Amino acid sequence: MRRPDQLRSRALLGALGAVALALGVAWLVHLALGRQGLLGFSVSNLAGLVEGSAFVVAFMVGLRAVRALLRLPSSTLLSFGAATPPAASSAARPVPSVDAGALVQTMADHRQVVVIEEGVPVGIAGIHPERLLGWDEVVKVDGRVALSELRPVLAREPLVVVLDGDQVAGIVTQDSYLAASWGRGA
């Protein structure tokens, strides 16, 4: 999973590559039309309009190819990396960690709880009403991972545990992911 700074550099390189492709295609069209076009900056300059159209089409095709190849969020790619998704830790909402003996009392106040035995997490309660979700069944990510990287995981899992080193920083659910993606915080 990639961090926001990695997405930023890939988006910048990808968008610049799409611009280079579009300029190359426009230059080839310019040469094919006998060097007549001025990108439409002349009266009745049909060759220039064709060049400009070729540039726009090639740029769009290049952006689509880069987006699919590098799996980049559209906003990051279109901003040349200036607008990157936040880190997963920004969308993680705190979740209490309790010893197995205090689980029932804590579950009355919280929807999900990290269950600990002898200082080690063993699972999460509150996901399935009939059982404890085992710690090895839970998807865990580093808090520095880009939030957009969690989208495919949250499409098939109810939540993702965000870690800060070995400590649980919080959880990201589908609701908190959507809220943070739309800028409303966790």
Q: Which of 11, 31, 8, 7 is nearest to 19 (CA)?
A: 11
CA max distance for the chain: 82
pLDDT at position 184, please?
58
What mean pLDDT comes out for the span 127-140? 80
- Token reading at 119: 């200082």
**Bridge partner residues of 42 (DSSP):** none
Helix (H) or strand (E) holding 127: strand 120-128
Tell which wins on pLDDT, 11 or 84: 11
- Using DSSP's 3-state secondary structure scheme, residue 118 falls into coil
Determine the pLDDT at residue 12: 95
Q: Is the pLDDT of residue 19 over 70?
A: yes
Confidence at residue 112, expressed as pLDDT on a 0 to 100 scale: 75
Whether 5 has a pLDDT exceeding 80, the answer reads yes
- Provide the pLDDT for residue 186: 46
Q: What is the reported pLDDT for 180?
A: 82
pLDDT the model gives residue 101: 62
Q: Report pLDDT digits (tens) over 142-156.
A: 999 998 899 899 989
Question: What digits encode the pLDDT tens for the residues 93-129?
Answer: 888 777 766 655 555 556 777 877 877 887 887 777 7
Q: How far apart are CA 105 and CA 37, in angstroms?
A: 76
pLDDT at 102: 60
Please say if the pLDDT value at position 55 is more than 90: yes
pLDDT at 66 over 80: yes
SS3 for 78-107, per residue?
Answer: HCCCCCCCCEHHHHCECCCEEEHHHHHHHH
**Which pTM does this prediction carry?**
0.72
What pLDDT does residue 110 have? 62
Is residue 8's pLDDT more than 80?
A: yes
Residue 133, SS3?
strand
- What is the rounded CA–CA span in Å between residue 151 and residue 73? 11
> Which pLDDT belongs to residue 141?
92
Positive/negative CA dihedral, 9, 13, 16, 22: negative
* Domains of the chain, start order: 4-78 (no CATH), 88-181 (3.10.580.10)
